[in-house]
Structure 1
Amino acid sequence: MASYDYLIYIGRFQPFHKGHLQTIRHALTQTDKLIVIVGSARAARTFENPWTLQEREQMIRACLAPEDQNRVYVVGISDRMYNDQQWVGEVQSAVDKVIAVDTANLSSRPAEYRIGMISGNRSQDSYYLEFFPQWRQLEAPEISGVVSADIRHHYFDAHQACEYAYDAEKLPEPVDQYLGDFRHGEIYQNLATEYAFVQDYKRAWARAPYPPTFVTVDAMVVYSGHILLVRRRTQPGKGLWALPGGFVNQNERVRDAAIRELREETKLKVPAPVLAGSVRASRVFDHPKRSLRGRTITHAFLIELPPTQEGLPKVKGSDDADKAKWVPLFEFSRMEEQLFDDHFYIVNWFLGQI
């Protein structure tokens, strides 16, 4: 008899490698069913998040034995960069839904299921375990030196060197084949271009006496149930939607920088004093991994414009934005895959304050 009814395995699997596969195989010797929870499931494609939830599930299932396919559930969850409890709730909800579906046709159910959570033993990858004291913890053996981030970076470095080799020995054969085919598509070419841009950007700062920390600003402008977004004209994140914002100049305060960037990128015809007087909240967003460019701390401002009889203020893309538009909030809630950096999570944090 298996030790668990359900084991839970959380990861991003960008990409799915031999270490992940070893953990899954170990889990299946200990449990009746395995629930694989895939993080960053609805994040925009970047070189740090190259494959969609569906593509990652395809990689995982291609590596499973036929007899194990029905024992493994794969579900996706969003990142909640500034709300750990919201993320925990989404994990719990995903697990409850899987168990409900799995046991729907059972005539009788146990009073309590034996649920555990399996992980590798690298502490930096398993900090989240403390969020789930209700589930027993199981540590799986790992393969030393197999790290998704290294595989990703070598994968895109190979584009620059016009080579195919990118740690293929660390990948299960179906994943190696999948990544080889993926390299010939337009998506890979776009991500590789973004990767090369960011690496050049970081090299430009390589001789600084200390690792640089950048300071930026973002403006979340709302008007009668709409939010103002811009579409990025340049790398990184070319083509993604974002909050108007940018870098702080040496001679200005952060609030002034936010208003300046807002007006430059959207041509919003609202006087600066009115914008300043409409600031309702502000917060520093400083997750270490929030930006592809490196350590970037942003000061974000919530600006609520009072409604008028003239309707939505006219806006137009300019400067670093090729388009600006007002988006209904209900429509914005479905745009997670189209948002730059952590802007989706910034907006949701502010919406919780309104």
Structure 2
Amino acid sequence: MSTRKYPYAVVIGRFQPVHFGHQRLIEEAARAADRVIVVVGSDRTPRSAKNPFTFDERERMVRACLRSADQMRVSVVGVGDSPYNDQLWIASIQSAVDKLIVQDGHKPAKTKVALVGHLKDASSYYLKLFPSWEFVGLHAVESIHATDVRNLYFDPEMRGQLSPSDLPDGTAAFLDRFTRTEDYAALCEERAFLIDYRDKYRYAGSEFPPIYTTVDAVVVEAGHILLVQRKFHPGKGTWALPGGFVGQHERLQDAAVRELKEETRLKVPVPVLNGSMKASHVFDAPERSQRGRTITHGFFFELSHNQWTGLSDVRADDDAAAVRWVPIAEFLDMQECMYEDHFFIANHFLGGLGKH
């Protein structure tokens, strides 16, 4: 007969990377419950300075900080982001947890679940979004913050200030191995670009950073969506919607059409494009872009298709590595290689067809 208070305890985090604060939360969950479910967020996103490690790598770091006796009691599941729909994100986590409970032969509605976490600041708001779970709060634990780890680790000149003793042994060993990979070098390069970018475009003499305005075009034709592959940082190599910054003297839709034509050389006249615009929407998640606060305006274009001539001709501009019409069925499996929140922007106009 178990003496633990709960049959299940949940710990939610991005674990980029796992530090002592994460380890303490998981250990507390293991003390409180018979089974622990570690929910790893930001699953299925391409590597970036903010989310550098894959789900599999983070699961290995999580398991490396567990005691051998706890390994079989801990399940690690990945849940993707839903930056414009908290309810969908909540449902994804609840579904992942309920699925494991059902696999164990229990009924989720009748099973007591604890949510173990630390309310450190506004970023911990998600801990209050699961009222059916009993919250178990922990006080702060002495630990270097994951953001500080990334800032030191991906700056080759500062990496020496990150001591192995600052992190759990499994995390320190993983990070040491990762420094010898091509992915590490690419992330260091991207981080340096972003720092230079923010310094270059900061308002002179002002404590307030700029807020950028951009446009993105979601263009579909005959069951295909038009994507460009990024040639430069940030997001080098990822796929994106055609788009860019709004000019000083442009209206938003004009900017979207201009960027679309420039990046893809789409052989559709501008008046036809304007007539094909079906909807628009503002996407303003504060952390949507690593470059800084960037609010983008999405425009949805649905082109008429000529079955005799095929899909409209496109050609990559010098700023793009490639451009292609992607079958929407294929696009729905591309979340892991899509730039920033472009997968979610496209899905907003496609009717939420994405596989979450």
For the aligned pair, the TM-score class normalised by the smaller chain equals: over 0.9
Distance (Å, rounded) in 2 between the aligned partners of 1:16 and 1:318: 40
- 2:13 maps to amino acid: G
Contact 2:37/2:77 (<8 A) preserved:
yes
Query: What is aligned with 2:145?
Result: 147
Query: What is aligned with 1:179?
Result: 175
Query: What is aligned with 1:13?
Result: 15
- SS state of the match for residue 128, structure 1? helix
Which segment drifts farther, 121-130 or 343-352? 121-130
- 2:195 maps to amino acid: Q
Give the drift of 1:144: 4.2
Query: What is aligned with 2:259?
Result: 261
Give the total of aligned pairs: 348
Q: 1:337 to 1:94 in 2, by over 3 A?
A: same
Contact 1:46/1:237 (<8 A) preserved:
yes
- 2:190 maps to amino acid: E
- SS state of the match for residue 59, structure 1? helix
Query: What is aligned with 2:73?
Result: 71
Q: 1:113 to 1:34 in 2, by over 3 A?
A: same
CA RMSD in angstroms comes to 1.7
Give the drift of 1:96: 1.1
Q: Which of 69, 75, 96 is matched with 2:98 structurally?
A: 96
- SS state of the match for residue 110, structure 2? coil
Query: What is aligned with 2:223?
Result: 225
Query: What is aligned with 2:85?
Result: 83
Which segment drifts farther, 208-217 or 231-240? 208-217
Query: What is aligned with 2:122?
Result: 124
Distance (Å, rounded) in 1 between the aligned partners of 2:266 and 2:274: 13
Contact 1:2/1:29 (<8 A) preserved:
yes
Distance (Å, rounded) in 1 between the aligned partners of 2:349 and 2:117: 33
Note the 1:13-92 alignment, pairs <5 A.
Answer: 13-92=15-94
Distance (Å, rounded) in 2 between the aligned partners of 1:294 and 1:58: 31
Contact 1:154/1:167 (<8 A) preserved:
no
Distance (Å, rounded) in 2 between the aligned partners of 1:312 and 1:91: 39
Q: 1:131 to 1:121 in 2, by over 3 A?
A: closer
- SS state of the match for residue 76, structure 2? strand
Give the drift of 1:131: 1.9
Which segment drifts farther, 314-323 or 48-57? 314-323
Give the drift of 1:348: 1.2
Contact 2:15/2:146 (<8 A) preserved:
yes
Give the drift of 1:198: 0.6
Contact 2:153/2:159 (<8 A) preserved:
no
Distance (Å, rounded) in 2 between the aligned partners of 1:82 and 1:8: 23
Q: 1:162 to 1:127 in 2, by over 3 A?
A: closer
Contact 2:8/2:35 (<8 A) preserved:
yes
Matching of residue 204 in structure 1 with residue 206 in structure 2 = no
Query: What is aligned with 1:188?
Result: 184
Query: What is aligned with 1:243?
Result: 241
Distance (Å, rounded) in 2 between the aligned partners of 1:134 and 1:151: 34
Matching of residue 311 in structure 1 with residue 294 in structure 2 = no
Give the drift of 1:110: 9.6
Query: What is aligned with 1:271?
Result: 269
Query: What is aligned with 1:325?
Result: 324
1:9-45 deviations in whole A, cap 9, x for unaligned? 1100000000000111111111111100000110110
Note the 1:130-141 alignment, pairs <5 A.
Answer: 130-141=128-139
Structure 1: which 5+ runs fail to align?
Answer: none
Distance (Å, rounded) in 1 between the aligned partners of 2:58 and 2:66: 13
Which segment drifts farther, 333-342 or 117-126? 117-126
Give the drift of 1:314: 1.3
Give the drift of 1:140: 1.9
Contact 1:47/1:194 (<8 A) preserved:
yes
1:298-347 deviations in whole A, cap 9, x for unaligned? 11100000122222111111042121100111111110110011101111
Contact 1:265/1:317 (<8 A) preserved:
yes
Contact 1:10/1:38 (<8 A) preserved:
yes
Note the 1:334-353 alignment, pairs <5 A.
Answer: 334-352=333-351
Distance (Å, rounded) in 2 between the aligned partners of 1:137 and 1:163: 36
Give the drift of 1:185: 0.8
Contact 1:62/1:174 (<8 A) preserved:
yes
- 2:56 maps to amino acid: Q
Which segment drifts farther, 209-218 or 253-262? 209-218
1:252-296 deviations in whole A, cap 9, x for unaligned? 111000000000000100011111111111011111110110111
